[in-house]
Structure 1
Amino acid sequence: MLYERWTGILDKRRHDLALRHPDLADGWTFDQLDQEAQKIVLPESGPIVANGDDPLFIPTVLAAWAKRRPVLIQEQKKQVPMEIHTDLPNDIALIKQSCGASGIERSLFYGETRLLAEGMRNIHALESLGMTSDCRSLGAISLAHSYGFGCLVLPLLLAGIPLDVLSGPLPMFVQQGLDRGPEKSFFLPGVPALWKTWWLTKILHHPSIRIAVSAGAPLSLELEQGIWNDTGLKVHNFYGTGETGAVTCDFTNEPRTETSLLGTILPGIDVKTDADQRIYVKTDATARFADRLLTPDEFTEPYYRTMDIGEVRGNELHWHTHTGEAINVAGRKVSPAKIERACLSLTGVTNAKVTSQRSRDFERFEEVKVAVQLEPECDLKALKHHAAEILDSWEMPRHWELLPD
């Protein structure tokens, strides 16, 4: 189903430039992208691992889909996939491993039909925002993160929207991407912390940005209005979860007037709240189930029980706060348990308590704080170095506290 969709795109756009990547001198056309996928030798059993920091990430996804094999996406080669404790149905096309808002590290499984539904919903939202055949996507965010995979990779493979992967989110790389080639129309997704940085460094004045979308963390009215006043660029607020895919989008052409407004509920999605204002989402793109699931009422058919608190007003969804254990650091969910394990794995660390702290920078949203108890032969400098070797940069605690013996 997914690969057949791709072959239809391939027939129409075979010789068009599909993918630019920092590690590819001239990029790949749609035909070359398909040829690279055909060269990949897949292991005989188990999920196919695709690493987001590998130029073969997208060809690997294609190769897995062509053989009806599940592909497990992870952000970096250095990561070790979590063990999967359950048998997989034959139609599983995608596996994500993330703590999500729950804070529980686990695997999420998506069938072909559900993944196609997510992709087509994202594509429809982009078209409603002004995406046309002459647009390209700029990939400053991770392709293997739920947000990046849904709004960059799926539109490329299921709708033929070309993608330029950048070396990173730094303003200089975004500027280079906007200046490259004859294209004058780009879709740029980011998180609020990135939008603030891009705004302050003046690259949002670039006339080639056609569609700007923010997701992953709350977008403040001050930032949205500031960008609008300075550049005339409307940043569209976008909301979804890793478990359900896209839920809402702000399709308006001018800045919001309420911080709580997430946007309009997308077609085909039903949202409700319970007596505690917990948000429930019913969609055909929800993950089939989760491995190592510790909250069984989270996946309660037909609704998915999110970790967010809010309210539905007509066809609008408003957000107030979240209740999950995960720490939201600039749009990335961090597992307290993972940080605790990293700290305790160093000899001499006898206790570690991980909590969140609201950031003074609203766009960063939360920061990681850890209080540790150390034996005399262990010091905080050694612990920080040890943790940095295990954790990704966004997972590293910003605040450290020594507990008394």
Structure 2
Amino acid sequence: MTQAVHPAATPRRIHEAFAPWTETCADKLALVDDLSSITYGALGGVVEAVAERLRDAGVRPGDRVLLVGENCVALAVCILAVSRLDAWSATVNARLSAREIDNFLSHSGARCALYFSSISPQAKAHGELRGAQAVDWPGIGGLLLGPLNAQAIPEPVEQAAADQVAAMVYTSGTTGAPKAVMLSHANLLFVGANSCRMRRIVPSDVIYGVLPLSHVYGLSSLLVAALIGGSALRLVARYQPEALAAALAEQGITVMHGAPAMYAKLLEWSENTGTPLHAPHLRVAQSGGAPLTLALKQAFEKTFGITLHNGYGMTEASPSICQTRLDDPRSDCSVGPAIPGIEIQLHGAEQSEEGVGELWVRGPNVMKGYYRAPELTAQTVTPEGWLRTGDLARREADGAITIAGRSKELIIRSGFNVYPVEVEQVLNAHPDVVQSAVVGREVEGNEEVVAFIEVSQTGSFTLDALRAHLKANLSPYKIPSEIVVLDHLPAAATGKVLKKELQQLAVQRPSAGRQHS
């Protein structure tokens, strides 16, 4: 394997990330989906042409441009073209509701919106609802261009990569007001370079890109990392286990990033259909975006014969904070040490008997702040630059970090702390449980533990057997008061389970200290 040759000069903008490969890897695929592909030699010209078309449409430096779609070559190109204009991209998933799209348009003060209609019927419907017109774009085909917002006011343009916003990532909006994380070019380039270096991305790699570009994991650790490494990024609009299985077997995938639920669904599909899984070229498998369970890690590694690596991050950290190392594979579900170049501390751990504290992080990965929300920014980032993650963690003897859960998700039952991730680990170790999510529910004078689970269709699942398994592996106060079986746990496009929805469902159900479902 040839180590990637990194440019002598560090790029200042994300659209400059691929510049070193335009001549040395001119004929090699840079971006590919089921409909189109672009080589490194052609990518610069296409980005320039699309940027020119956006400029002609009225987009100015400092403007926000809303990109409504799902993963495809055209979306990736437009993110880079918006960067080329020193405007800010705000990519949102087309599967969101009309109300949410309207909220994002209003909150961002977007100059215009692009709707990626060729890949997404939902994007087409959103565009048509808002009077968008079909336009043919050079190198990427037809898109819908929304009307120009004459009231849009450009933000100041900063020359330094650390000061100029590259993208806004919306982390909320399905409930309550939108919350937009401002990520600078330096933020995204730092994490992209880190992912490239730590996973040893080289031009011969083919990366499976199903994590949405509307999510920071897909934006920095896949798109920017792939371009820095000169590798091919295969963009996939929606996760389907059979499509992933085919790609691993037939399309030369060497690097896979996914949420734990994606890996769990892949293994379940294989078992349900009796289809063996093959990944002859896969050398890196990475889990992130949600807690990884030991049962899933072991099942994946037994199936594929390679380590399922783990990591931890959050949108406000672009997102990487901790990662396991390729040359130091772990047998547990630790997220590994902090990535190089940042600082972390466990705030309050010295007061905890278990050594658990809130994880704080400081470094080039920390966001500029929340757009139009200075008070919220001040609550989240200290004057000294520490990002308060809200996640509870402990440091292992070898320096690796284990995530105990969200501080807001901590359940206090009869005076004892219950970390949902620990209960989920035990639930998921049961052979008939595909995935689980644990939340707390307030009852008079106490909290109780409620578990939601998906079960395998091929097993002979019973609640009694699961309760016996829990009793054998958990302290009594950690055992759920109620276990609810669902066909599917509610999840975001990344595969991350939406615990807020489950919290609401738990509250709506009667207190189950007396009765299990």
The normalised TM-score by structure 2 is 0.59
**Partner of 1:284 in structure 2?**
364
**Aligned partners of 2:257 and 2:286 also within 8 Å:** yes
Alpha-carbon spacing, 1:227–1:262, altered in 2? closer, same or farther (3 Å): same
Question: For structure 2, which runs of at least 5 residues remain unmatched after alignment?
Answer: 1-11, 110-152, 158-163, 271-275, 350-356, 411-419, 422-433, 436-448, 457-494, 511-517
TM-superposed deviation, 1:178: 2.5
Given the superposition, is the C-alpha separation of residues 264 and 103 from structure 1 closer, same or farther in structure 2, using an over 3 Å criterion?
farther
Distance in 1 of aligned mates of 2:219 and 2:290: 17
Which of the residues 136, 157, 170 maps onto 2:227? 157
Residue identity matched to 1:176: A
| Distance verdict in 2 for CA 1:242–1:103, change over 3 Å | farther
**Structure 2 partner of 1:246:** 320
Corresponding residue for residue 478 of structure 2: none
Matching of residues 3-402 of structure 1 within 5 Å: 3-24=15-36, 27-40=37-50, 41-42=53-54, 43-45=58-60, 46-53=63-70, 55=72, 56-76=74-94, 79-80=101-102, 81=104, 83-84=107-108, 88-90=155-157, 91-99=164-172, 105-127=178-200, 131-181=201-251, 183=252, 185-202=253-270, 204-244=277-317, 245-251=319-325, 256-259=330-333, 261-275=334-348, 277-291=357-371, 292=373, 294=376, 296-300=378-382, 301-313=384-396, 315-324=399-408, 358-361=451-454, 397=501, 399=505
| 1:344-402 Cα distance to aligned partner (Å, 9 max, x none) | xxxxxxxxxxxx95432599xxxxxxxxxxxxxxxxxxxxxxxxxxxx99769564886
Matched residue, 2:492:
none
Task: Give 3-state SS (helix, strand or coil) of 1:35's partner.
Answer: helix
Deviation at 1:191, TM superposition (A): 0.8
Higher mean displacement: 36-45 or 164-173: 36-45
Amino acid at match of 2:403: W
Which one scores higher on RCO, CA 8 angstroms, separation ≥ 6? Answer: 1
Where does residue 375 of structure 1 map in the other structure?
A: none
Amino acid at match of 2:380: E
Identify which range, 12-21 or 319-328, moves more after superposition.
319-328
CA distance in 2, matches of 1:126, 1:179: 21
Q: Whose radius of gyration is greater, 1 or 2?
A: 2
How far apart are residue 72 of structure 1 and its match? 1.4
Q: What secondary structure, in the 3-state scheme, does the structure 1 residue paired with 2:18 have?
A: helix
CA distance in 1, matches of 2:365, 2:26: 29
User: How big is each residue's C-alpha offset from its partner over 1:279-306, in whole Å with a ceiling of 9 and x where there is no partner?
Assistant: 1001212111113353633111321110
Sequence identity of aligned pairs in percent? 19
Whole-Å Cα distance in 1 between the matches of residues 376 and 40 of structure 2? 42
| Alpha-carbon distance in structure 1 between the residues aligned to 2:506 and 2:407 | 23
Equivalent position SS for 2:366:
coil
Q: How many pairs are equivalent?
A: 348
Distance 1:254 1:193, change over 3 A: farther
Instruction: Give me the CA root mean square deviation.
Output: 3.9
Q: Is the 8 A contact 2:91 2:213 kept in 1?
A: no
Deviation at 1:9, TM superposition (A): 2.7
Secondary structure of the residue aligned to 1:201 is helix
- CA distance 1:54–1:251, shift in 2 (3 Å): closer
Q: Which residue of 1 aligns with 2:413?
A: none
Deviation of 1:311 after TM superposition, in Å, equals 2.1
Quick one: structure 1 residues 362 and 235, their matched pair in 2 at CA, closer, same or farther if it must change by over 3 Å? farther
Cα shift readout 1:180-212 (whole Å, capped 9, x = no counterpart): 45x3x5101111111112223346432222110
Distance 1:166 1:221, change over 3 A: same
**Are the structure 2 counterparts of residues 254 and 156 from structure 1 closer, same or farther at C-alpha, using a change threshold of 3 Å?**
closer
Please give the alpha-carbon distance, in whole angstroms, between the structure 1 residues aligned to 2:219 and 2:230. Answer: 14
Alpha-carbon distance in 2 for matches of 1:187, 1:175:
13
| Residue 235 to residue 89, structure 1, CA distance change in 2 (3 Å) | farther
Cα 1:51/1:161, change in 2 over 3 Å:
farther
Richer in strand (by share): 1
Shift of 1:47: 1.0
SS state of the match for residue 378, structure 2? coil
Residue type of the alignment partner of 2:39: T
- Tell me the CA shift for residue 109 of structure 1: 1.1
- Deviations 1:59-117, CA, capped at 9 Å, x for gaps: 111111222222112222763425138974422111111139x9973111122222221
